[in-house]
Structure 1
Amino acid sequence: MPDIRIALTDKTIAQLPAPKDGWYLARDTDLKGFFVVIGKRKRTFTVQGDLRQGGKRASSVRVSIGNAGEMSTRAARGIAKAYLARISQGRHPRDDKRPEAGSPAPNGACGGAIAGVTLREAWQRYLEAHLIRKGRSEVTISGYRDHVERVFAEWLDTSLHELAMDPARMAKKHDDVTRENGPYMANGCMRTLRAIYNHARKTNRSLPADNPADAVDWNEEERRNTGMGSADLGGWFMELASLENPVRREFHLFTLLCGSRPAALQQIKPNHIDFWRRTLHIPKPKGGRKKAFDIPLSRQMILCLIRAIRLGRQMHPVQALEWVFPADSESGHLAETKEDREILSKWGNDLRQTFRTIATAAGVSEIDAKLLMNHAIPGVNAGYITRHKLLENHLRSQQQTISSAVFTALGASITQDRALRDWLGRARPRPEGTVSAGRQFVVRMAAGMTQGSS
């Protein structure tokens, strides 16, 4: 193909056709001597100019800047201007091995093509090499993606060097997000940007050492104290009993009884439940697969799971084959667990805080509560505790203590209130019968039978 002359941008370069054979040049209409070499498999930013000695042309110099698939046009153009300036001074661009790493070039470009990495490129590497490779949960990845691809959408094709050299831009963005989305979201977005920049700098030492996120004045964050005490549970159970969707009702109850993060519970499957051992396996909690753990099940938790499975089979028979809490969603399981506060006043992490509050009131030790919630234990004690050795007896006993405290708080209402009685009042079998029935039910469900037993 013959050479062409166009205004070079990321978009126009991406739209250029690949040649059937050989290569051709796409020259920039704005900057003389700056062009892209278009090959069958690669597109390379390049600069060309005449070296002069004594006012006369001595030789022509052509120098590649970098792969167009790995750096932005804006960054490449900045480097091209620096190279052309050297050529105009009679110096070869590669003399002195390019401008020193970290030193600013014209228009804020950084010497060396590697410093032209954009936020989009750095995010993709962070996603693949850090989040996915280390087994971070889908919910965690989704949160990072929302920050980068929604909140920082207008910066995706901006180089990290440019962001680092404009701290006022960071501070203004943090102020804008605080005003529009709240202080917690603003802080979270900047933490994400800080992590991506630090990760990118490991392989891009020419990036400035100062992280652009350090320019913001962080919003003050306070722990939300939204948990319930024993006296609050009666009213909350009444609200929950009137919830229209019974699968969601069981989900919120189970969240309260186990104290786990809702995002992890949304994705539990029937084969994660071991009714014989009375445990529920959580394969991908916050922190990824390496944080996988088993939750010991109390009698009330077993009954809750059995009800959820049976109701799920009735409401969503196809999705229930795979999920304990099925739904008509793209994933097939509950994906959104928020409720109208006027209908259900507490849900999500409110119930996680409630679990911790009830556990303390019931006399469960701080270490046992942390183990049940899969929290890290600070100090040297963590290295001397073997969690799975405590699971079968001690932790299950502590779990039963918490569940019993929850239901004891209901008092006589569990038999006197019709909604509660219909939902919970008649399901009080012995522990042994509960385990056996639950195990038989799950085995039959896995075999595709339509009838279960409780």
Structure 2
Amino acid sequence: MADIRILLTDKTIAQLPTPKDGRYLARDTELKGFFVVVGKRKRTFTVQGDLRQNGKRASSVRVSIGDTSEMSTRTARATAKEYLAQISKGKHPRAAKEEVQPAAASEAVPNSMPAVEITLREAWQRYLEAHLIRKGRSEKTISSYRDHVERVFMEWLDTPLRELGMDPARVAKKHDETTKTSGPYMANGSMRTLRAIYNHARKTNRSLPPDNPADAVDWNQEERRDTGMGNSDLKGWFAELAVLDNPVRREFHLFTLLSGSRPSALQEAKPAHIDFRRRTLHISKPKGGRKRAFDIPLSREMIRCLVRAIRFGMKMYPTRAKEWVFPAESESGHIAETKEDRDTLSKWGNDLRQTFRTIATAAGVSEFDAKLLMNHSIPGVNAGYVTRHKLLEDHLRSQQQTISRAVFTALGASLTNNRALRNWLGRAASRRATQDFETSTGLDREEFWRAA
């Protein structure tokens, strides 16, 4: 294949085609001399520049930075800038790296003040305030980072970052130990957190070694958890859900399935977020923070689910139900823990998100539309020209209705034959729920049924 020029990011690199034979270069449009060598089995970040002596070109050098599967593009780009700067001064990056001694790092800049040692604790606090909070990251995301730092790296909190940067083997060993004690996903996740904190700290602490110590780990292979259900599995799952003790939790799990949303986003849904006229539920704080806020188009089945949740909530938690769609006896006032005993309910949480995607495909909904409904980021340049809210009123809502209809069609005769299901989702039960809802909320009957 011929060489190409693109803006190198983690996403664009992942989408690069694999050559049938040989290899090709994907050159960065932003940083000259920075590119990825794409082979059949490996993709490598690389830099190339001209070594000059006495102002004249002496030779051209090419230096590999690292495997794209083991380091982020941001880290590779930062390293590339360091290497290119050294090359422009007539120094080979590898040779310069070997000459630097750990004890001599502060002597690199003569007549300068000694470098202030920043600890992992200090770097984490700066990253938390200047990056996570300022950019509106969700509390769940922040909690995950905090768990990595304050639990996995507890014994390193007062360790200078430069000490870790000069000893990548120590970091690699920690990754191996965490893999054994907490599993491969936790080990990889904690190292991504360390890598992000280190990169952020280096922006204001140039004495830190340019190579991120987290790039030294041998990353564990991660596989997508394939736990979704197909049409044939829904009948048994609904039978389990129908006998769940708490009716608010029952509606929460059903709405998770019908919307394909992340449970963490639905936990904080408020009655004020529901617009019955437009038939939407506003998700104000999804994954990615407030800037990724979006509206879920509601099918008829989803509206009835929300009505039942509000009705049950008003009876069980009258005070908390004024603020939350899915109230609970928790510190927050809403459902805080979405897990169930697998013997009671076999699928919940992200299992239902995968099921939504599976049912959508079987129902003929396009991958693009399913991703829009699930608020996934859409790869590719053309996706940037799609205006989501313009599709919301008609197209996406009809696709949502198609998915909900497929879910309930899969129940077949069990919707009338199964007593628990009939009492929960049957027509008479829906009428009772609607009447209670109209009485307690004062919503106009005609307006409601126009929505439902």
Partner of 1:155: 156
Partner of 1:296: 297
Q: Which amino acid aligns with 1:105?
A: A
Partner of 2:11: none
Partner of 1:117: 118
Distance 1:209 1:303, change over 3 A: same
Q: Which amino acid aligns with 1:355?
A: F
Q: Which amino acid aligns with 1:387?
A: R
CA offsets 1:232-289 (integer angstroms, 9 cap, x no match): 0000001111111111111110000000111111111110111111000001100101
**How many angstroms does 1:104 deviate by?**
3.1
Distance in 1, matches of 2:410 and 2:141, equals: 35
Distance in 1, matches of 2:303 and 2:115, equals: 56
Distance in 2, matches of 1:429 and 1:319, equals: 23
What secondary structure, in the 3-state scheme, does the structure 2 residue paired with 1:344 have?
coil
**CA RMSD between the two structures:** 2.5
Give the TM-score taking structure 2 as reference length. Answer: 0.72
Equivalent residue runs for 1:354-365 within 5 Å: 354-365=355-366
Q: Which amino acid aligns with 2:398?
A: S
**How many angstroms does 1:171 deviate by?**
1.4
Contact 1:239 1:344 in 2 (8 A): yes
Contact 2:304 2:430 in 1 (8 A): no
Distance in 2, matches of 1:324 and 1:340, equals: 23
Contact 2:253 2:349 in 1 (8 A): yes
Distance 1:104 1:307, change over 3 A: same
Partner of 2:411: 410
Partner of 2:319: 318
**How many angstroms does 1:381 deviate by?**
2.2
Partner of 1:233: 234
Q: Which amino acid aligns with 2:418?
A: D
Distance in 1, matches of 2:436 and 2:378, equals: 33
Structure 2 residue 278 is the aligned partner of structure 1 residue 277: yes
Give the TM-score taking structure 1 as reference length. Answer: 0.71
Partner of 1:381: 382
Distance 1:305 1:218, change over 3 A: same
**How many angstroms does 1:378 deviate by?**
1.1
Partner of 1:203: 204
Distance in 2, matches of 1:112 and 1:343, equals: 64
Distance in 2, matches of 1:169 and 1:241, equals: 52
Unaligned runs of 5+ residues in structure 1 are 1-101, 446-453
Equivalent residue runs for 1:25-44 within 5 Å: none
Distance in 1, matches of 2:419 and 2:435, equals: 26
**How many angstroms does 1:426 deviate by?**
2.2
Contact 1:256 1:354 in 2 (8 A): yes
Q: Which amino acid aligns with 1:197?
A: Y
Distance in 2, matches of 1:234 and 1:274, equals: 30
What secondary structure, in the 3-state scheme, does the structure 2 residue paired with 1:157 have?
coil
Partner of 1:174: 175
What secondary structure, in the 3-state scheme, does the structure 2 residue paired with 1:116 have?
coil
Which structure has the larger Rg? 1
Contact 2:311 2:436 in 1 (8 A): no
Tell me the number of residue pairs that the alignment of Structure 1 and Structure 2 aligns.
342
**How many angstroms does 1:376 deviate by?**
1.1
Partner of 1:136: 137
Distance in 2, matches of 1:103 and 1:337, equals: 52
Q: Which amino acid aligns with 2:265?
A: A
Distance 1:210 1:438, change over 3 A: farther
**How many angstroms does 1:442 deviate by?**
7.8
Contact 1:296 1:396 in 2 (8 A): yes
**How many angstroms does 1:349 deviate by?**
0.5
Distance in 1, matches of 2:439 and 2:303, equals: 12
Unaligned runs of 5+ residues in structure 2 are 1-99, 444-451
